Amino acid sequence: MRYAICNEHWGDLPFAKVCERIAAAGYGGVEIAPFTLNEDPRELTDSDAISVTKSAKDAGIEVIGLHWLLTKPAFLHITTPDSTLRRDAAKLGQKLARFCGMVGGKIMVWGSPKARNLLPEWKYEDAFARAAEVVRSVAEEAGKYGVTIAMEPLGRKETNIFNTAEETIRFCQLVDHPACKLHLDVKAMSDEAKPIPDIIRDSKEWFVHFHTNDPNLLGPGMGEVKYEPIIAALKEVGYGGWLSTEVFDYSLGADAIAERSIRYLKGIVG
């Protein structure tokens, strides 16, 4: 397993400087939130991709992929009956798939809870199918660039659809494309009734990426979640991908969070 971290932890710091901080903390990869590169990710250019690639290479790290795909613009949506909003969401997803491939990324973590929430008047299965149509169209494009969409289950406080790994696997099965798989996140899995190691074992045929964090919104080892059984389960199923740290509370400072997280994980992984 290798170690990566998300770039938005450093706020407005220029991407090249973020890459230097990430490398200095001992990470081998960076996971990028597109809105940190451009307030409107629809305006990202090939020149931006070249600049991102150079910054990562100069720092000696890899761009492993993208996340927070539909955070901005905030009106994009994948379960809505509004076909225009779904089409625009698919269009941005396809653009980001190409961008991800250009910067050398292999994974696009599809979380974006507000862009998938259901309204009470929508029928669940209809919304489920509408979302699958959107994601399938993005997966078809992503596959051209060697990029995999990693659908992310999220806790019930964040969204009212795709809350468990089991539900999200069912969604991936409906999408029915080899470039659509599952992503697992420790904070999100903590909201499930099933123990995290069991989720990992039961999802072993589907998950392709892994976020480390804690329900307290800090990094691994900074809360109540014990990672020894989690890492043991990952090893048991033969996971050899990235352990990518994603936090939401930056109060300790991005550098301190990065250093503490990787030190804790390395101490367990060995």
Please tell me the predicted confidence (pLDDT) of residue 120: 97
pLDDT at position 204, please?
Answer: 98
CB 5 within 8 A of CB 261: yes
Closest CA to 104 of 54, 140, 42, 139: 54
Mean pLDDT calculated for residue range 174-185: 98
> Which tens digits make up the pLDDT trace of 98-131?
999 999 999 999 999 999 999 999 999 999 999 9
Amino acid, res. 34: P
Are 40 and 73 in contact by the 8 Å Cβ rule? The answer is yes
Contact 222, 250 (CB under 8 A): no
pLDDT greater than 90 at residue 270: no
- Got the DSSP string for 164-205? SHHHHHHHHHHH--TTEEEEEEHHHHTTSSS-HHHHHHHTTT
Average pLDDT over residues 159-165: 98
pLDDT tens by residue, 229-264: 999 999 999 999 999 999 999 999 999 999 999 999
Over residues 24-38, the mean pLDDT reads 98
Which superfamily is assigned to 2-269 in CATH? Answer: Divalent-metal-dependent TIM barrel enzymes (3.20.20.150)
Mean pLDDT of 172-182: 98
State mean pLDDT over 21-40.
98
For residue 97, pLDDT over 90 is answered with yes
- Domain borders along the chain are 2-269
- Nearest CA to 135 among 150, 113, 114? 150
Residue 158, pLDDT > 90, answer yes
- Taking 90 as the threshold, does the pLDDT of residue 43 lie above it? yes
Residue listed under structure tokens 């990065």: 258
Three-state DSSP state, 60:
coil
- Residue burial 140-168, b: 16+ Cβ < 10 Å; e: rest: bbbbeeebbbbbbbbbeebbbbbbbbbeb
Residue 56's pLDDT band, with cuts at 50, 70 and 90, is very high
Q: What are phi and psi of 205, to 5 degrees?
A: -80, -5
Nearest-angstrom CA–CA distance, 107 and 17: 23
Question: What 8-state DSSP symbol labels residue 146?
Answer: T
Contact between residue 112 and residue 68 where contact means Cβ atoms under 8 Å apart: yes
pLDDT confidence of 94, banded at 50, 70, 90? very high
